[in-house]
């Protein structure tokens, strides 16, 4: 039996599609009449406090999101394996966002928009992509996809991750001891890290001050991961005093971003309302129904979260 516990999305739509895809397998929702002990899988998005009550027969927890930081903090999280949603469509959309904002800052959008507002015609030639270094933090599925899209554009790429990663065309840095070296050659910093205790607040003033100051107007950051990665007071300060030339933020410490946040009004801060990427229902149904069928047939689960590591 598969139990759905999805908040803030259309749970009925997912239930209908999963029932179609898992013909013969029982799919239930909160409020249905069922014995919780018979639930073998639970499919969750923002599970409430009582989501896992009585589920003593769980074989796996299926997470709709790619990031499981919030899920791992659930007070009553059972011991079953947690499966993350890894989705080519989601990776594509995330890379779409990353490429759009990296190229925007590389092409000095902030500067030319200010000139336009002032009706000023001042020619300045942005550097070629090859002369600009994009530093990607996080080299999981999303980081690797972003690298794969940025490379053919001609950018010089470097990455930083917990453990060393070897990606063709990307200079890899790993571990805390190489973080400063990584930053020292980075013009545009892209964050695609998982949110863990080690990465919380990593987008702070100290980090920004270590970035290379080669790009006209100053270095830029692009955060498509989690609001918990960023210290917003530091971003406000850095954008205002020139430590950063620009910031593209899709995520925030508090979401929706509060009305009184100073970020809204900062000219060189580019805000989107956590829409960089969304998991498509079609892909999700295919992914999870296949996984349940395979697992029931004795195959191992894939994309299982390492709880120790946090992702």
Instruction: Compute the least distance from the CB of residue 7 to a copy of itself, in Å.
Output: 15
Residue 265 has a CB neighbour count (10 Å cut-off) of 8
Question: Which own/partner contact pairs does 48-52 have at CB distance under 8 Å and 24+ positions apart?
Answer: 48/5, 48/7, 49/74, 49/75, 49/76, 50/76, 51/5, 51/76, 52/76, 52/77, 52/78
In the complex with a copy of itself, which residue's Cβ is closer, 272 or 303?
272
In the complex with a copy of itself, which residue's Cβ is closer, 11 or 209?
11
- Distance, CA of 11 to CA of 246 (rounded, Å): 38
Instruction: Compute the least distance from the CB of residue 173 to a copy of itself, in Å.
Output: 24
Tokens encoding 17: 């599609």
Tokens encoding 92: 């594509």
Is 226 a residue of the active site? Answer: yes
- Tokens 């990307």: give the residue: 170
Of 274, 295, 307, 309, catalytic: 274
Of 101, 105, 106, 226, catalytic: 226
Instruction: Compute the least distance from the CB of residue 263 to a copy of itself, in Å.
Output: 9
- Distance, CA of 150 to CA of 258 (rounded, Å): 33
Q: Which DSSP category does 307 fall into?
A: T
Instruction: Compute the least distance from the CB of residue 91 to a copy of itself, in Å.
Output: 10
In the complex with a copy of itself, which residue's Cβ is closer, 80 or 143?
143
CB contact burial 133-162 (16+ within 10 A = b; e otherwise): bbbbbbbbbbbbbbbbbbbeeebbbbbbbb
Is 295 a residue of the active site? Answer: no
Tokens encoding 231: 């210290």
Q: What does the binding site for a copy of itself look like in residue numbers (CB under 8 A)?
A: 89, 92-93, 95-97, 99-101, 103-104, 106-107, 109, 112-113, 115-116, 119, 121-126, 128-130, 148-149, 152-154, 255-257, 259, 264, 270-275, 277-278
In the complex with a copy of itself, which residue's Cβ is closer, 56 or 282?
282
Report DSSP letters for 221-233, one per residue.
EEE-S-GGGB-HH
In the complex with a copy of itself, which residue's Cβ is closer, 95 or 159?
95
Instruction: Compute the least distance from the CB of residue 128 to a copy of itself, in Å.
Output: 5
Instruction: Compute the least distance from the CB of residue 207 to a copy of itself, in Å.
Output: 24
In the complex with a copy of itself, which residue's Cβ is closer, 43 or 270?
270
Q: Is residue 157 within 8 Å of 171, Cβ to Cβ?
A: yes
Closest residue by Cα to residue 102 from 242, 277, 247:
247
What amino acid positions are annotated as catalytic residues? 226, 274
């Amino acid at each position: 039996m598969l139990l759905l516990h999805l908040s803030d999305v259309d749970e009925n739509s997912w239930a209908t599609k999963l029932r179609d895809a898992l013909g013969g397998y029982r799919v239930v929702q909160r409020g249905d009449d069922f014995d919780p002990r018979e639930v073998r899988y639970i499919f969750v998005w923002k599970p409430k406090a009582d989501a896992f009550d009585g589920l003593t027969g769980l074989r796996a927890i299926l997470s709709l999101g790619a990031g499981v930081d919030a899920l791992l903090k659930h007070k009553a999280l059972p011991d079953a394996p947690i499966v993350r949603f890894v989705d080519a469509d989601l990776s594509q959309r995330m890379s779409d966002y990353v490429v759009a904002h990296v190229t925007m800052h590389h092409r000095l959008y902030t500067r030319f928009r200010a000139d336009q507002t002032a009706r000023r015609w001042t020619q300045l030639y942005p550097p070629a992509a090859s002369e600009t270094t994009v530093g990607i933090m996080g080299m999981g599925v999303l980081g690797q996809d972003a690298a794969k899209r940025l490379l053919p554009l001609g950018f010089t790429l470097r990455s930083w991750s917990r453990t060393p990663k070897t990606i063709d065309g990307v200079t890899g840095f790993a571990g805390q001891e190489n973080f400063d070296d990584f930053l020292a050659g980075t013009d545009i910093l892209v964050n695609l890290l998982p949110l863990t205790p080690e990465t919380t607040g990593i987008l702070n003033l100290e980090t920004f001050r270590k970035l290379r100051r080669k790009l006209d107007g100053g270095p830029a950051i692009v955060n498509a991961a989690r609001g918990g990665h960023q210290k917003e007071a530091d971003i406000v300060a850095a954008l205002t005093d020139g430590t950063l030339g620009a910031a593209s933020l899709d995520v925030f410490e508090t979401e929706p971003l509060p009305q009184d946040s100073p970020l809204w009004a900062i000219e060189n801060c580019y805000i989107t309302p956590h829409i960089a990427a969304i998991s498509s229902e079609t892909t999700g149904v295919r992914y999870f129904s296949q996984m349940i069928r395979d697992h029931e047939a004795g195959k191992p689960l894939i994309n299982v979260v390492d709880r120790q590591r946090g992702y």
